[in-house]
Amino acid sequence: MANRKKKITRNYLMHPEGSVLITTGDTKVICTATVTEGVPSFLRESGQGWITAEYGMLPRSTNVRNNRPGPTKKANGRSSEIQRLIGRSLRAAVDMTKIADYTIQIDCDVIQADGGTRTAAITGACVAMQDAFTWMIEQGKIMDNPIREMVAAISVGIVKGELVVDLDYEEDSNADVDMNVVMTESGKFIEIQATGEKDTFTLEQHIELLQLAKDGIIELIELQKKALK
- Binding-site ranges for its own copies (CB under 8 A): 13-16, 19, 26, 30, 32, 34, 36, 54, 56, 58-63, 65, 68-78, 80-81, 83-84, 88, 92, 105, 107, 109, 111-114, 184, 187-196, 200-203, 206-207, 210
**Angle between the 77-92 and 117-138 helix axes, to the nearest 10 degrees?**
50
Of 123, 132, 149, which Cα lies nearest the Cα of 219?
123
Of 177 and 229, CB closest to its own copies: 177
**Residue 18 near residue 132, CB atoms below 8 Å:** yes
Of 14 and 143, CB closest to its own copies: 14
Q: Smallest distance, Å, CB 215 to its own copies?
A: 13
End-to-end CA distance of the chain: 30
CA–CA distance, 10 with 166 (Å, rounded to integer): 22
Strands 102-112 and 162-165 turn out to be unpaired
Q: Smallest distance, Å, CB 84 to its own copies?
A: 5
Of 148 and 228, CB closest to its own copies: 148
Q: Smallest distance, Å, CB 149 to its own copies?
A: 9
Of 124 and 229, CB closest to its own copies: 124
- Residue 208 is inside which H or E element, if any? helix 203-228
Of 36 and 46, CB closest to its own copies: 36
Q: Smallest distance, Å, CB 148 to its own copies?
A: 10
Q: Smallest distance, Å, CB 145 to its own copies?
A: 18
CA–CA distance, 225 with 184 (Å, rounded to integer): 13
Amino acid at 37: E
Of 143 and 200, CB closest to its own copies: 200
CA–CA–CA angle 54, 78, 131 (5° rounding): 25
CA–CA distance, 25 with 176 (Å, rounded to integer): 21
Q: Smallest distance, Å, CB 70 to its own copies?
A: 5
